Structure 1
Amino acid sequence: MTENSTVVVTHHPVTDTAADAYVAEVTLNRPDKLNAWTGGMRSRLVAALDVLGDDERCRAVVLTGAGRAFCAGQDLAETAAIDPDDHAAAEAWIDDFGRLFRAVRGLDKPVVAAVNGVAAGSGFQFALLADFRIGHAAVRMGQPEVLSGIPSITGIWAMRGILGRAKTAEFALGGRLVDGTEAERLGLLTRLVAQDEVKAEALAEAARLAALPPGAVALTKGRLRELDDAGLDDAIEAAKKVHTAAYATGEPQREMARFLAGRRR
Protein backbone atom coordinates (compact mmCIF):
# COMPACT_ATOMS: atom_id res chain seq x y z
CA MET A 1 0.00 0.00 0.00
CA THR A 2 1.18 3.52 -0.82
CA GLU A 3 -0.31 6.61 0.79
CA ASN A 4 -0.13 10.33 0.09
CA SER A 5 -2.77 11.72 2.49
CA THR A 6 -5.61 12.54 0.08
CA VAL A 7 -5.02 9.60 -2.29
CA VAL A 8 -4.38 6.04 -1.08
CA VAL A 9 -3.39 3.17 -3.37
CA THR A 10 -3.72 -0.44 -2.18
CA HIS A 11 -2.61 -3.53 -4.12
CA HIS A 12 -4.79 -6.67 -4.04
CA PRO A 13 -3.13 -9.81 -5.47
CA VAL A 14 -5.09 -11.60 -8.19
CA THR A 15 -5.12 -15.40 -8.34
CA ASP A 16 -5.20 -17.40 -11.59
CA THR A 17 -3.07 -14.77 -13.36
CA ALA A 18 0.62 -13.92 -13.36
CA ALA A 19 2.10 -14.47 -9.92
CA ASP A 20 2.66 -10.77 -9.26
CA ALA A 21 -0.54 -9.44 -10.87
CA TYR A 22 -2.76 -7.23 -8.77
CA VAL A 23 -5.90 -5.08 -8.69
CA ALA A 24 -5.21 -1.51 -7.55
CA GLU A 25 -7.70 0.10 -5.18
CA VAL A 26 -7.44 3.89 -5.43
CA THR A 27 -9.18 5.69 -2.57
CA LEU A 28 -9.98 9.39 -2.40
CA ASN A 29 -9.14 10.24 1.18
CA ARG A 30 -10.68 13.49 2.43
CA PRO A 31 -13.63 11.95 4.30
CA ASP A 32 -14.21 15.06 6.43
CA LYS A 33 -14.80 17.00 3.18
CA LEU A 34 -16.76 14.21 1.44
CA ASN A 35 -13.64 13.68 -0.69
CA ALA A 36 -14.14 17.00 -2.47
CA TRP A 37 -11.35 17.82 -4.92
CA THR A 38 -8.50 20.25 -4.51
CA GLY A 39 -5.86 20.91 -7.15
CA GLY A 40 -3.23 19.09 -5.13
CA MET A 41 -5.48 16.08 -4.69
CA ARG A 42 -6.12 15.84 -8.42
CA SER A 43 -2.38 16.08 -9.14
CA ARG A 44 -1.64 13.23 -6.75
CA LEU A 45 -4.42 11.16 -8.27
CA VAL A 46 -3.18 11.72 -11.83
CA ALA A 47 0.34 10.72 -10.75
CA ALA A 48 -0.98 7.55 -9.10
CA LEU A 49 -3.04 6.59 -12.17
CA ASP A 50 -0.07 7.20 -14.47
CA VAL A 51 2.06 4.82 -12.38
CA LEU A 52 -0.65 2.15 -12.46
CA GLY A 53 -1.13 2.59 -16.18
CA ASP A 54 2.57 1.92 -16.80
CA ASP A 55 2.70 -1.11 -14.49
CA GLU A 56 1.94 -4.31 -16.42
CA ARG A 57 1.37 -6.11 -13.13
CA CYS A 58 -1.68 -3.92 -12.49
CA ARG A 59 -4.53 -5.63 -14.32
CA ALA A 60 -7.54 -3.59 -13.12
CA VAL A 61 -8.32 -0.50 -11.03
CA VAL A 62 -11.04 0.16 -8.46
CA LEU A 63 -11.90 3.79 -7.67
CA THR A 64 -13.64 4.60 -4.40
CA GLY A 65 -13.89 7.15 -1.59
CA ALA A 66 -13.14 7.04 2.12
CA GLY A 67 -15.98 7.48 4.59
CA ARG A 68 -19.56 8.13 3.49
CA ALA A 69 -18.91 9.70 0.09
CA PHE A 70 -17.42 8.75 -3.25
CA CYS A 71 -16.64 12.35 -4.22
CA ALA A 72 -18.73 15.47 -3.63
CA GLY A 73 -17.03 17.28 -6.53
CA GLN A 74 -14.94 20.43 -6.43
CA ASP A 75 -14.04 21.90 -3.05
CA LEU A 76 -15.88 25.22 -3.38
CA ALA A 77 -13.60 26.89 -0.84
CA GLU A 78 -10.85 26.63 -3.46
CA THR A 79 -12.75 27.78 -6.56
CA ALA A 80 -14.63 30.57 -4.78
CA ALA A 81 -11.28 32.36 -4.56
CA ILE A 82 -10.77 32.56 -8.34
CA ASP A 83 -10.40 36.20 -9.41
CA PRO A 84 -13.13 37.14 -11.97
CA ASP A 85 -10.46 38.96 -14.01
CA ASP A 86 -7.98 36.07 -13.96
CA HIS A 87 -8.96 34.22 -17.13
CA ALA A 88 -5.81 32.10 -17.00
CA ALA A 89 -6.79 30.71 -13.59
CA ALA A 90 -10.21 29.60 -14.84
CA GLU A 91 -8.65 27.95 -17.89
CA ALA A 92 -5.97 26.24 -15.79
CA TRP A 93 -8.68 24.84 -13.53
CA ILE A 94 -10.42 23.24 -16.52
CA ASP A 95 -7.13 21.92 -17.91
CA ASP A 96 -6.54 20.30 -14.53
CA PHE A 97 -9.76 18.33 -14.88
CA GLY A 98 -8.86 17.49 -18.47
CA ARG A 99 -5.65 15.86 -17.25
CA LEU A 100 -7.55 13.88 -14.62
CA PHE A 101 -10.23 12.68 -17.03
CA ARG A 102 -7.64 11.64 -19.60
CA ALA A 103 -5.61 9.81 -16.95
CA VAL A 104 -8.63 7.63 -16.13
CA ARG A 105 -9.65 7.14 -19.75
CA GLY A 106 -6.08 6.42 -20.79
CA LEU A 107 -5.87 3.28 -18.64
CA ASP A 108 -5.77 0.21 -20.90
CA LYS A 109 -7.12 -1.92 -18.08
CA PRO A 110 -10.65 -2.20 -16.67
CA VAL A 111 -11.76 0.50 -14.22
CA VAL A 112 -14.51 -0.18 -11.68
CA ALA A 113 -16.02 2.58 -9.53
CA ALA A 114 -17.16 1.49 -6.06
CA VAL A 115 -19.71 4.27 -5.50
CA ASN A 116 -20.01 4.11 -1.72
CA GLY A 117 -21.89 7.40 -1.21
CA VAL A 118 -22.60 10.76 -2.78
CA ALA A 119 -21.09 11.35 -6.23
CA ALA A 120 -21.83 14.91 -7.28
CA GLY A 121 -20.62 17.43 -9.83
CA SER A 122 -17.16 16.60 -11.11
CA GLY A 123 -17.13 13.65 -8.69
CA PHE A 124 -20.17 12.31 -10.52
CA GLN A 125 -18.39 12.84 -13.86
CA PHE A 126 -15.34 11.03 -12.46
CA ALA A 127 -17.50 8.00 -11.59
CA LEU A 128 -18.98 7.97 -15.10
CA LEU A 129 -15.48 7.58 -16.57
CA ALA A 130 -15.26 4.06 -15.08
CA ASP A 131 -16.14 1.04 -17.21
CA PHE A 132 -18.33 -0.42 -14.44
CA ARG A 133 -20.03 1.38 -11.54
CA ILE A 134 -21.25 -0.52 -8.49
CA GLY A 135 -23.27 1.22 -5.79
CA HIS A 136 -26.09 0.85 -3.29
CA ALA A 137 -29.66 2.13 -3.12
CA ALA A 138 -28.88 5.05 -0.79
CA VAL A 139 -26.16 6.67 -2.91
CA ARG A 140 -26.87 10.12 -4.32
CA MET A 141 -25.64 10.95 -7.82
CA GLY A 142 -26.03 14.00 -10.00
CA GLN A 143 -24.84 17.27 -11.43
CA PRO A 144 -25.76 20.10 -9.02
CA GLU A 145 -23.10 22.55 -10.24
CA VAL A 146 -25.64 25.03 -11.63
CA LEU A 147 -26.96 25.52 -8.08
CA SER A 148 -23.57 27.05 -7.20
CA GLY A 149 -23.47 29.24 -10.29
CA ILE A 150 -21.10 26.88 -12.13
CA PRO A 151 -22.03 25.89 -15.71
CA SER A 152 -22.01 22.15 -16.44
CA ILE A 153 -19.96 21.71 -19.63
CA THR A 154 -17.76 18.64 -19.22
CA GLY A 155 -20.72 17.20 -17.32
CA ILE A 156 -22.84 17.34 -20.47
CA TRP A 157 -20.18 15.34 -22.32
CA ALA A 158 -19.89 12.76 -19.51
CA MET A 159 -23.63 12.25 -19.18
CA ARG A 160 -24.92 12.38 -22.74
CA GLY A 161 -23.53 9.02 -23.88
CA ILE A 162 -25.39 7.31 -21.01
CA LEU A 163 -28.50 9.45 -20.58
CA GLY A 164 -29.23 10.97 -23.99
CA ARG A 165 -30.02 14.63 -24.56
CA ALA A 166 -33.30 14.96 -22.66
CA LYS A 167 -32.10 13.45 -19.39
CA THR A 168 -28.74 15.19 -19.71
CA ALA A 169 -30.55 18.53 -19.92
CA GLU A 170 -32.61 17.61 -16.85
CA PHE A 171 -29.50 16.79 -14.82
CA ALA A 172 -27.40 19.72 -16.06
CA LEU A 173 -30.09 22.39 -15.74
CA GLY A 174 -32.05 21.08 -12.77
CA GLY A 175 -29.22 20.09 -10.45
CA ARG A 176 -31.22 17.18 -9.03
CA LEU A 177 -29.52 14.22 -7.36
CA VAL A 178 -30.99 10.74 -7.82
CA ASP A 179 -30.76 7.73 -5.53
CA GLY A 180 -29.06 4.48 -6.42
CA THR A 181 -32.23 2.75 -7.59
CA GLU A 182 -32.95 5.44 -10.16
CA ALA A 183 -29.25 5.68 -11.05
CA GLU A 184 -29.21 1.99 -11.93
CA ARG A 185 -32.41 2.32 -13.98
CA LEU A 186 -30.84 5.16 -15.96
CA GLY A 187 -27.56 3.30 -16.51
CA LEU A 188 -25.53 5.56 -14.22
CA LEU A 189 -24.84 2.53 -12.05
CA THR A 190 -24.04 -0.87 -13.51
CA ARG A 191 -25.17 -2.83 -10.50
CA LEU A 192 -26.79 -2.35 -7.08
CA VAL A 193 -25.67 -4.32 -4.03
CA ALA A 194 -26.10 -3.98 -0.28
CA GLN A 195 -24.37 -0.92 1.17
CA ASP A 196 -21.79 -2.93 3.09
CA GLU A 197 -20.95 -5.02 -0.01
CA VAL A 198 -20.08 -2.23 -2.47
CA LYS A 199 -16.30 -2.32 -2.19
CA ALA A 200 -16.08 -6.10 -1.94
CA GLU A 201 -18.28 -6.49 -5.03
CA ALA A 202 -16.23 -3.92 -6.94
CA LEU A 203 -12.98 -5.70 -6.05
CA ALA A 204 -14.49 -9.05 -7.04
CA GLU A 205 -15.62 -7.63 -10.39
CA ALA A 206 -12.18 -6.09 -10.94
CA ALA A 207 -10.51 -9.43 -10.15
CA ARG A 208 -12.75 -11.17 -12.68
CA LEU A 209 -11.87 -8.59 -15.33
CA ALA A 210 -8.18 -8.79 -14.39
CA ALA A 211 -8.20 -12.48 -15.32
CA LEU A 212 -9.23 -11.70 -18.91
CA PRO A 213 -6.61 -11.61 -21.70
CA PRO A 214 -5.00 -8.19 -21.18
CA GLY A 215 -4.22 -7.58 -24.84
CA ALA A 216 -7.83 -7.99 -25.94
CA VAL A 217 -8.99 -5.81 -23.05
CA ALA A 218 -6.52 -3.06 -23.93
CA LEU A 219 -7.46 -3.05 -27.60
CA THR A 220 -11.17 -3.00 -26.80
CA LYS A 221 -10.73 -0.12 -24.38
CA GLY A 222 -8.68 1.72 -26.97
CA ARG A 223 -11.50 1.52 -29.48
CA LEU A 224 -14.08 2.61 -26.92
CA ARG A 225 -11.87 5.59 -26.12
CA GLU A 226 -11.56 6.53 -29.79
CA LEU A 227 -15.32 6.78 -30.14
CA ASP A 228 -15.59 9.89 -27.97
CA ASP A 229 -12.08 11.30 -27.55
CA ALA A 230 -12.94 14.16 -29.88
CA GLY A 231 -16.00 14.90 -27.75
CA LEU A 232 -13.88 15.25 -24.63
CA ASP A 233 -11.40 17.52 -26.41
CA ASP A 234 -14.29 19.69 -27.57
CA ALA A 235 -15.84 19.73 -24.08
CA ILE A 236 -12.58 20.86 -22.47
CA GLU A 237 -12.13 23.71 -24.95
CA ALA A 238 -15.79 24.74 -24.60
CA ALA A 239 -15.50 24.60 -20.80
CA LYS A 240 -12.54 26.99 -20.87
CA LYS A 241 -14.55 29.56 -22.81
CA VAL A 242 -17.76 29.13 -20.84
CA HIS A 243 -16.16 29.07 -17.39
CA THR A 244 -13.99 32.07 -18.21
CA ALA A 245 -17.12 33.96 -19.24
CA ALA A 246 -19.00 32.79 -16.15
CA TYR A 247 -16.23 33.75 -13.73
CA ALA A 248 -15.88 37.13 -15.42
CA THR A 249 -19.45 37.92 -14.31
CA GLY A 250 -18.63 37.08 -10.67
CA GLU A 251 -21.79 34.97 -10.39
CA PRO A 252 -20.09 31.67 -9.50
CA GLN A 253 -18.02 33.37 -6.80
CA ARG A 254 -21.13 35.02 -5.30
CA GLU A 255 -23.15 31.81 -5.32
CA MET A 256 -20.32 29.75 -3.87
CA ALA A 257 -19.70 32.35 -1.16
CA ARG A 258 -23.41 32.25 -0.28
CA PHE A 259 -23.33 28.45 -0.13
CA LEU A 260 -20.21 28.39 2.04
CA ALA A 261 -21.62 31.04 4.38
CA GLY A 262 -24.79 28.99 4.83
CA ARG A 263 -22.81 25.85 5.54
CA ARG A 264 -20.84 27.59 8.31
CA ARG A 265 -23.97 28.60 10.22
Structure 2
Amino acid sequence: MEAKVNERFILEELQDAVAVITLNRPALLNAWHAPMRAMLVEAFRRAEADSSVGAIVLTGAGEKAFGAGQDLNETKTFDPERAEEWLKEWETLYDTMRGLSKPLIVALNGVAAGSAFQVALLGDLRIGHANVRMGQPEINSGIASVTGPWIMREMIGLARTIDLTLTGRLMDAQEAHAIGLINRIVPQEAVLDEALTLAAELAAKPPVAMRLDKARFREMTEVGFRDAIEAGIRIHRQSYATGEPARMMEQFLAERAARKPSA
Protein backbone atom coordinates (compact mmCIF):
# COMPACT_ATOMS: atom_id res chain seq x y z
CA MET A 1 0.00 0.00 0.00
CA GLU A 2 1.49 3.32 -1.07
CA ALA A 3 1.81 6.10 1.47
CA LYS A 4 -0.44 9.12 1.24
CA VAL A 5 1.40 12.41 1.10
CA ASN A 6 0.03 13.58 4.46
CA GLU A 7 0.59 10.35 6.38
CA ARG A 8 2.89 10.82 9.36
CA PHE A 9 4.71 7.57 9.98
CA ILE A 10 7.06 9.39 12.35
CA LEU A 11 5.92 11.83 15.05
CA GLU A 12 8.21 14.45 16.56
CA GLU A 13 7.88 16.42 19.78
CA LEU A 14 10.26 18.56 21.81
CA GLN A 15 10.06 18.24 25.61
CA ASP A 16 12.48 20.79 27.06
CA ALA A 17 15.91 19.65 25.80
CA VAL A 18 14.70 16.21 24.69
CA ALA A 19 13.46 15.39 21.19
CA VAL A 20 10.87 12.59 21.30
CA ILE A 21 10.58 10.61 18.06
CA THR A 22 7.74 8.09 17.75
CA LEU A 23 7.36 5.29 15.20
CA ASN A 24 3.75 5.73 14.07
CA ARG A 25 2.21 2.72 12.34
CA PRO A 26 0.47 1.21 15.38
CA ALA A 27 -2.10 -0.73 13.36
CA LEU A 28 0.82 -2.67 11.83
CA LEU A 29 2.82 -2.79 15.09
CA ASN A 30 5.06 -0.02 13.73
CA ALA A 31 6.46 -2.28 10.99
CA TRP A 32 8.96 -0.60 8.68
CA HIS A 33 8.49 0.35 5.06
CA ALA A 34 10.51 2.71 2.86
CA PRO A 35 8.58 5.95 3.62
CA MET A 36 8.80 5.33 7.36
CA ARG A 37 12.56 4.68 7.18
CA ALA A 38 13.11 7.86 5.17
CA MET A 39 11.03 9.93 7.60
CA LEU A 40 12.97 8.52 10.56
CA VAL A 41 16.28 9.49 8.97
CA GLU A 42 15.03 13.06 8.53
CA ALA A 43 13.73 13.20 12.11
CA PHE A 44 17.12 12.15 13.48
CA ARG A 45 18.87 14.70 11.29
CA ARG A 46 16.59 17.49 12.51
CA ALA A 47 17.22 16.54 16.13
CA GLU A 48 20.96 16.42 15.54
CA ALA A 49 20.97 19.86 13.89
CA ASP A 50 18.76 21.52 16.52
CA SER A 51 20.97 23.28 19.08
CA SER A 52 18.14 23.23 21.64
CA VAL A 53 18.13 19.42 21.66
CA GLY A 54 20.48 17.73 24.10
CA ALA A 55 19.18 14.16 23.89
CA ILE A 56 16.74 12.03 21.90
CA VAL A 57 14.11 9.49 22.96
CA LEU A 58 12.85 6.98 20.38
CA THR A 59 9.65 5.03 21.06
CA GLY A 60 6.70 3.40 19.30
CA ALA A 61 3.02 4.34 19.09
CA GLY A 62 0.51 2.10 20.83
CA GLU A 63 0.91 -0.37 23.68
CA LYS A 64 1.84 -3.55 21.81
CA ALA A 65 5.05 -2.84 19.92
CA PHE A 66 8.08 -0.65 19.70
CA GLY A 67 8.40 -2.20 16.27
CA ALA A 68 7.56 -5.55 14.69
CA GLY A 69 10.40 -5.25 12.19
CA GLN A 70 10.13 -5.26 8.43
CA ASP A 71 6.70 -4.96 6.78
CA LEU A 72 6.69 -8.21 4.80
CA ASN A 73 4.13 -6.83 2.38
CA GLU A 74 6.98 -4.66 1.09
CA THR A 75 9.84 -7.15 1.00
CA LYS A 76 7.84 -10.07 -0.45
CA THR A 77 7.95 -8.32 -3.83
CA PHE A 78 11.70 -7.69 -3.92
CA ASP A 79 14.05 -8.84 -6.66
CA PRO A 80 17.85 -8.84 -6.15
CA GLU A 81 18.20 -5.21 -7.30
CA ARG A 82 15.53 -3.93 -4.92
CA ALA A 83 17.06 -6.01 -2.13
CA GLU A 84 20.35 -4.18 -2.64
CA GLU A 85 18.58 -0.80 -2.55
CA TRP A 86 16.84 -1.93 0.64
CA LEU A 87 20.19 -2.65 2.32
CA LYS A 88 21.43 0.78 1.30
CA GLU A 89 18.33 2.35 2.87
CA TRP A 90 19.18 0.59 6.12
CA GLU A 91 22.79 1.73 5.78
CA THR A 92 21.58 5.34 5.58
CA LEU A 93 19.42 4.96 8.68
CA TYR A 94 22.05 3.13 10.69
CA ASP A 95 24.74 5.60 9.60
CA THR A 96 22.55 8.46 10.74
CA MET A 97 21.94 6.85 14.12
CA ARG A 98 25.58 5.92 14.60
CA GLY A 99 26.61 9.48 13.76
CA LEU A 100 24.44 11.17 16.38
CA SER A 101 26.46 13.32 18.77
CA LYS A 102 23.58 13.38 21.24
CA PRO A 103 22.56 10.48 23.49
CA LEU A 104 19.74 8.30 22.20
CA ILE A 105 17.42 6.56 24.69
CA VAL A 106 15.04 3.88 23.41
CA ALA A 107 11.72 3.59 25.27
CA LEU A 108 10.56 0.02 24.61
CA ASN A 109 6.78 0.13 24.86
CA GLY A 110 6.37 -3.42 23.50
CA VAL A 111 7.92 -6.03 21.23
CA ALA A 112 11.12 -5.11 19.35
CA ALA A 113 11.68 -7.67 16.61
CA GLY A 114 14.02 -7.98 13.66
CA SER A 115 15.20 -4.66 12.31
CA ALA A 116 13.34 -2.86 15.12
CA PHE A 117 15.44 -4.91 17.56
CA GLN A 118 18.54 -3.75 15.70
CA VAL A 119 17.41 -0.11 15.83
CA ALA A 120 16.80 -0.49 19.57
CA LEU A 121 20.33 -1.86 20.04
CA LEU A 122 21.76 1.12 18.14
CA GLY A 123 20.40 3.34 20.88
CA ASP A 124 22.72 4.18 23.76
CA LEU A 125 20.41 2.93 26.52
CA ARG A 126 17.09 1.08 26.60
CA ILE A 127 14.19 1.32 29.06
CA GLY A 128 11.54 -1.40 29.00
CA HIS A 129 8.80 -3.12 30.97
CA ALA A 130 8.23 -6.71 32.04
CA ASN A 131 6.22 -7.68 28.96
CA VAL A 132 8.74 -6.49 26.38
CA ARG A 133 10.08 -9.17 24.03
CA MET A 134 13.13 -8.75 21.82
CA GLY A 135 14.81 -10.82 19.14
CA GLN A 136 15.76 -11.57 15.58
CA PRO A 137 13.01 -13.72 13.99
CA GLU A 138 13.86 -13.07 10.31
CA ILE A 139 14.64 -16.72 9.62
CA ASN A 140 10.98 -17.58 10.29
CA SER A 141 9.89 -15.49 7.31
CA GLY A 142 12.72 -16.49 4.99
CA ILE A 143 14.91 -13.40 5.42
CA ALA A 144 18.63 -13.99 5.92
CA SER A 145 19.98 -12.05 8.90
CA VAL A 146 23.22 -10.13 8.44
CA THR A 147 23.17 -6.71 10.11
CA GLY A 148 21.38 -8.22 13.11
CA PRO A 149 24.16 -10.67 13.94
CA TRP A 150 26.73 -7.89 13.58
CA ILE A 151 25.17 -5.67 16.24
CA MET A 152 24.22 -8.61 18.47
CA ARG A 153 27.73 -10.05 18.46
CA GLU A 154 29.13 -6.66 19.46
CA MET A 155 26.86 -6.63 22.50
CA ILE A 156 26.20 -10.21 23.62
CA GLY A 157 28.86 -12.40 21.98
CA LEU A 158 28.82 -15.04 19.27
CA ALA A 159 27.14 -17.93 21.13
CA ARG A 160 23.98 -15.97 21.99
CA THR A 161 23.99 -14.38 18.54
CA ILE A 162 23.92 -17.82 16.88
CA ASP A 163 21.11 -18.90 19.21
CA LEU A 164 18.89 -15.90 18.46
CA THR A 165 19.63 -15.86 14.72
CA LEU A 166 19.06 -19.54 13.96
CA THR A 167 16.10 -20.16 16.28
CA GLY A 168 14.36 -16.86 15.60
CA ARG A 169 13.11 -16.87 19.18
CA LEU A 170 12.21 -13.75 21.13
CA MET A 171 13.73 -13.11 24.54
CA ASP A 172 11.53 -11.94 27.38
CA ALA A 173 12.42 -8.75 29.22
CA GLN A 174 14.10 -10.56 32.08
CA GLU A 175 16.53 -12.37 29.78
CA ALA A 176 17.24 -9.22 27.80
CA HIS A 177 17.90 -7.32 31.03
CA ALA A 178 20.16 -10.07 32.39
CA ILE A 179 22.44 -9.90 29.33
CA GLY A 180 22.49 -6.11 29.24
CA LEU A 181 20.19 -5.35 26.32
CA ILE A 182 17.59 -3.65 28.51
CA ASN A 183 19.20 -1.28 30.98
CA ARG A 184 16.18 -0.68 33.22
CA ILE A 185 12.84 -2.43 33.66
CA VAL A 186 10.06 -0.24 35.03
CA PRO A 187 6.23 -0.48 35.14
CA GLN A 188 4.73 -0.28 31.65
CA GLU A 189 3.06 3.06 32.28
CA ALA A 190 6.40 4.55 33.45
CA VAL A 191 8.58 3.59 30.46
CA LEU A 192 8.37 6.87 28.58
CA ASP A 193 8.70 9.02 31.70
CA GLU A 194 11.76 7.04 32.82
CA ALA A 195 13.29 7.44 29.36
CA LEU A 196 12.61 11.18 29.40
CA THR A 197 14.16 11.52 32.85
CA LEU A 198 17.28 9.64 31.78
CA ALA A 199 17.49 11.62 28.54
CA ALA A 200 17.27 14.91 30.44
CA GLU A 201 20.04 13.72 32.76
CA LEU A 202 22.29 12.88 29.83
CA ALA A 203 21.39 16.10 28.01
CA ALA A 204 22.87 17.98 30.97
CA LYS A 205 26.26 16.27 30.62
CA PRO A 206 29.19 18.20 29.06
CA PRO A 207 28.37 18.13 25.33
CA VAL A 208 31.93 17.93 23.99
CA ALA A 209 32.77 14.91 26.14
CA MET A 210 29.44 13.31 25.13
CA ARG A 211 30.16 13.89 21.44
CA LEU A 212 33.69 12.52 21.67
CA ASP A 213 32.63 9.44 23.66
CA LYS A 214 29.93 8.61 21.11
CA ALA A 215 32.30 9.20 18.21
CA ARG A 216 34.78 6.75 19.75
CA PHE A 217 32.10 4.07 20.12
CA ARG A 218 31.35 4.52 16.42
CA GLU A 219 35.04 4.18 15.53
CA MET A 220 35.33 0.99 17.56
CA THR A 221 32.53 -0.69 15.60
CA GLU A 222 32.93 0.89 12.16
CA VAL A 223 34.84 -1.91 10.43
CA GLY A 224 32.29 -4.51 11.50
CA PHE A 225 29.39 -2.30 10.41
CA ARG A 226 30.78 -1.75 6.92
CA ASP A 227 31.48 -5.46 6.58
CA ALA A 228 27.89 -6.25 7.61
CA ILE A 229 26.47 -3.90 4.96
CA GLU A 230 28.68 -5.31 2.21
CA ALA A 231 27.83 -8.87 3.27
CA GLY A 232 24.15 -7.97 3.50
CA ILE A 233 24.07 -6.76 -0.10
CA ARG A 234 25.83 -9.90 -1.31
CA ILE A 235 23.74 -12.31 0.76
CA HIS A 236 20.36 -10.69 0.10
CA ARG A 237 20.98 -10.53 -3.64
CA GLN A 238 21.78 -14.23 -3.55
CA SER A 239 18.80 -15.02 -1.34
CA TYR A 240 16.21 -13.09 -3.35
CA ALA A 241 17.49 -14.57 -6.60
CA THR A 242 16.35 -18.00 -5.37
CA GLY A 243 12.76 -16.90 -4.73
CA GLU A 244 12.79 -18.42 -1.24
CA PRO A 245 12.13 -15.19 0.69
CA ALA A 246 9.00 -14.42 -1.37
CA ARG A 247 7.65 -17.94 -0.89
CA MET A 248 8.33 -17.98 2.83
CA MET A 249 6.90 -14.49 3.39
CA GLU A 250 3.70 -15.38 1.52
CA GLN A 251 3.40 -18.51 3.68
CA PHE A 252 4.14 -16.57 6.85
CA LEU A 253 1.56 -13.88 6.01
CA ALA A 254 -1.06 -16.49 5.11
CA GLU A 255 -0.53 -18.37 8.37
CA ARG A 256 -0.70 -15.14 10.36
CA ALA A 257 -3.95 -14.15 8.62
CA ALA A 258 -5.43 -17.57 9.37
CA ARG A 259 -4.68 -17.14 13.08
CA LYS A 260 -6.57 -13.85 13.31
CA PRO A 261 -10.09 -14.21 14.71
CA SER A 262 -12.84 -13.34 12.25
CA ALA A 263 -14.80 -10.18 12.87
Distance 1:88 1:58 in 2: 38
What code does the residue aligned with 1:198 have? V
Residue 177 of structure 1: aligned partner: 170
Residue 249 of structure 1: aligned partner: 242
| 2:43 counterpart of 1:40 | no
Contact 1:8 1:26 in 2 (8 A): yes
From 76, 80, 86, the equivalent of 1:80 is 76
From 6, 9, 15, the equivalent of 2:9 is 6
What code does the residue aligned with 2:174 have? T
Distance 2:218 2:210 in 1: 12
- 1:48 positional shift: 1.0
TM-score normalised per structure 2: 0.94
Residue 261 of structure 2: aligned partner: none
Distance 1:200 1:51 in 2: 22
What code does the residue aligned with 1:171 have? L
Contact 1:4 1:44 in 2 (8 A): no
- 1:4 positional shift: 5.7
From 69, 84, 88, the equivalent of 2:65 is 69
Identity, in percent, stands at 51
- 1:263 positional shift: 2.1
Distance 1:92 1:108 in 2: 27
Structural RMSD (CA): 1.0
Residue 262 of structure 1: aligned partner: 255
Distance 1:215 1:92 in 2: 35
The runs of 4+ residues in structure 1 deviating greater than 6 Å are: none
Deviates more, 1:47-56 or 1:167-176: 47-56
Deviations 1:43-100 (A, max 9, x none): 01101111111122110000100012101100000000113xxx22110000111111
Residue 101 of structure 1: aligned partner: 94
From 105, 108, 111, the equivalent of 1:112 is 105
What code does the residue aligned with 2:22 have? T
Residue 240 of structure 1: aligned partner: 233
Correspondences of 1:115-154 after superposition (within 5 Å): 115-154=108-147
What code does the residue aligned with 2:48 have? G
Distance 1:136 1:233 in 2: 33
Gaps of 5+ in 1: 14-21
Distance 2:81 2:223 in 1: 23
What code does the residue aligned with 2:67 have? C
Distance 1:51 1:4 in 2: 19
| 2:55 counterpart of 1:52 | no
Correspondences of 1:211-226 after superposition (within 5 Å): 211-226=204-219
Deviations 1:8-44 (A, max 9, x none): 011001xxxxxxxx20000000000000000010001
What code does the residue aligned with 1:253 have? A
What code does the residue aligned with 2:224 have? G
| 2:24 counterpart of 1:29 | yes
